[in-house]
Structure 1
Amino acid sequence: MSLCLGTSESSKKAEKRKFMLKNGKFLLQKLIASCNGDYNPIQNFTAQELKAATNNYDPEKVITKDLLYKLYKGFLQDRPISVMKFGGNLNSEEYCCFNCIAFASQMSHKNILKFVGCCLETELPILVFEFVACGTLADRIHDPNGSQLEPFLMKHRLKVAMEIANAVAYLHVGFSRPIVFRDIKPSTILFQEQNVAKFFDFCVAISIPEGKTHVNDNNKVIGTYGFIAPEYISTANCNEKSDVYSFGAFLLELLTGKRISYSSCFENGEEYFLQELVMKSIESNSFKEIVDPIIVGEEGLWPEKEKQLLSYTQLAIKCLSKSGQDRPTMVQVAKQLRQLHKSI
């Protein structure tokens, strides 16, 4: 019996060593390719530590989940953490996992979830981030009745929009090679506290090569339906203006509480996507009907408040221009949102 246990233990150690060598080599290649020689210390965790920290990945500890991963609440070394565990399907998740580490480890911004470290001794690395407690922005705006938090008013939404705009602008101008996030949407924004937003999930982020104006990822178009810029769909070329388009769609979801793919039938039987519904409501002077009822509130839309919301909506529509050249930069978007936030 002792011989069997020894053999089993030896086999487990050999497997961990194999994964650490493979993952370490792949991660090093990713970091060299994306970090421009900058030193990014990454803390190492053991698989056993993270298993214990999450109570063996208890489903009750899931903060949010995607097709590729789940993010868990955890507690390790006397501090709360967040643990990102991929499902183990190497074909679809290996690239995203290492991509997330490579980019997240470069980030230093108050509204981007801080990357702490990872575990390399499992088939796919397990990632560790700072703690978040209050779910995603998608939870707040699409399921307000399920939240135990205070009503998500326009002043809160503008604060979040402004801070996330600052974070995206940081990706575009804060590095020697601009980083395109490629999947800006409410579910990639977490809340550390009630209204403290943190941008998250660099699984599909990509850098624009030096001296180039766009990047083509082997003719693949990556993103979420309704948030993908039309020129990216038609050419597979993306750049910073692709993110601006996604951000415009995000702004509309934040304003209306509806999903960007939301559609509604009118008398003539036609269906309209959210962007079209918003524009139609402005043209027909029925703007109030499309705004999230939580924003309108009991006091309704007085003239000054409606003017502010229209300015916000016009910015979103400008970001959603069909041509990338007609869209503002994220720096310009952040500046305008900051002015709107001050006015409220």
Structure 2
Amino acid sequence: MALVYEYMSEGALHEHLRGKEDSMRCLTWGQRLHIALESAQGLEYLHKGCNPPLIHRDVKTSNILLNANLEAKIADFGLLKAFDSGGDTHVSTARVVGTRGYLAPEYLATYQLTSKSDVFSFGVVLLEIVTGQSHLLNDPEQTSIIQWVQQRLARGNIESVVDARMSGDYDVNGVWKVADTALKCTAQSPEHRPNMTDVVAQLQECIDLEATRCDANARFYSAGSGGNPNRYSGYNTDISSEVSQSSIAFEMERLGRMPTMSNGPDVR
């Protein structure tokens, strides 16, 4: 028996986000948005388009593959779980499996999966897309990217978290919107997280914002004007998600490692 996949010549997303600068081109903000949208649509199909619904259980940047046109597809369904029926609210498992740093806190605590478990993992993916950072950072002690972003956005400065390799070539409103969506996806309580249909809608709005910016810049330069195309007003958002230090510590302990992590300021 063999399983044949479409050849995805550009490899995994994480290689583009954290590859060496001399060997891997930096993804533009527009490319990142389309990759995020296509990945979100894949998860939405698993949750809404399949009967019974499916939970991927291992959503991460290394399981998002890109073809020659940088079109994204979710891969690696080895940990996939199906609901027994469409009316089930969760799937129970005998043990916690997945990748440390992407696991939803309620799954770690109860061994019960829902579609919101995938939403949490995808929120981490979105933060990686915005920042270009790993899902776990040493800052200087090991910490989750969720906490790392929360600490910086609490100061109201989106530029402190955005991947510097993009050199400011993005719509700031769209970046704020993606970051806000990501933090809502990683809310401590699954009831406070959006579903993947909502995430798809938010990402489509961000793509529209970026397309408008690019069109405006094209008209601006075609008219022969000078100036700085990267001046934007901030996107006013209420970052409502929170990740407790205890839940991150519990995840590390459940998976066999218990680092010491610093506390950051409360998110506004």
2:89 pairs with 192, 197, 213, which one?
213
1:98-149 alpha-carbon deviations (Å, 9 max, x no partner):
xxxxxxxxxxxxxxxxxxxxxx3xxxxx42222221111011101142644x
The corresponding residue for 2:200 is: 334
Q: Would the aligned equivalents of 2:136 and 2:143 in 1 still touch at CA under 8 Å?
A: no
Q: Residue type matched to 2:198 in 1?
A: Q
Is residue 166 of structure 2 the alignment partner of residue 275 of structure 1?
Answer: no
Distance 1:257 1:286 in 2: 16
Runs of 4+ with deviation above 3 angstroms: none
Q: How does 1:215-294 map to 2 (within 5 A)?
A: 215-217=91-93, 219-265=94-140, 272-294=143-165
Deviations, residues 164-214 of structure 1 (Å, cap 9, x unaligned): 101100000111211000000011111111411121110000101113110
- Partners in 1 of 2:150 and 2:31 — Cα distance? 24
Following the alignment from structure 1 to structure 2, what is the Cα–Cα distance between the partners of residues 247 and 160?
12
Alignment of 1:162 with 2:37, yes or no, is: yes
Equivalent-residue separation in structure 1 for 2:142 and 2:120 (angstroms): 22
1:101-250 paired onto structure 2 within 5 Å = 120=1, 126-145=2-21, 147-148=23-24, 150-210=25-85, 211-217=87-93, 219-250=94-125
Matches within 5 A, 1:12-51: none
Amino acid at match of 2:48: V
* RMSD (CA atoms): 1.7
Contact kept? 1:164, 1:197, Cα under 8 Å: yes
TM-score with structure 1 setting the length = 0.58
Distance 1:292 1:128 in 2: 35
Q: 1:319: which partner in 2?
A: 185
Q: Helix, strand or coil: the match of 1:128?
A: coil
Residue 343 of structure 1: CA displacement?
Answer: 1.2
SS in 2 for 1:222: coil
Question: Distance in 1 between the 2:134 and 2:208 partners?
Answer: 27
Distance 1:221 1:146 in 2: 38
Letter in 2 for 1:252: L
Mapped partners of 1:262, 1:224: distance in 2:
15
What is the aligned length?
Answer: 209
Aligned equivalents of 1:159, 1:301: Cα separation in 2 = 16
Q: Which has the greater radius of gyration?
A: 1
Which one has a larger percent strand, Structure 1 or Structure 2? 1
- Mapped to 2, the partners of 1:320 and 1:289 lie a distance apart of 20
Match of 2:176 among 302, 310, 323: 310
Contact 1:230 1:322 (C-alpha < 8 Å) held by counterparts = yes
Cα 1:272–1:199 change in 2 (3 A) is: closer
- 1:256–1:292 contact (8 Å) kept in structure 2: yes
Please, which runs of 5 or more residues in structure 1 have no aligned partner? 1-119, 121-125
The code of the aligned residue for 2:17 comes to I
Q: SS where residue 181 of structure 2 aligns?
A: helix
Query: Residue 32 of structure 2 aligns to which amino acid in structure 1?
Result: R
Kept in 2: contact 1:137–1:189 (CA 8 A) = yes
> How far apart in 2 are the matches of 1:284 and 1:175?
42
- Verify the 8 A CA contact 2:136 2:142 in the aligned structure 1: no
TM-score by length of 2: 0.74
Tell which has more relative contact order, 1 or 2 (C-alpha 8 A, sep 6+).
Answer: 2
Query: Percent identity at matched positions?
Result: 32
Question: Residue 7 of structure 2 contacts residue 67 of structure 2 at CA under 8 Å; is this kept in 1?
Answer: yes
Partners of 2:126 and 2:20 lie apart in 1 by: 17
Q: Which secondary structure does the structure 1 equivalent of 2:151 belong to?
A: helix
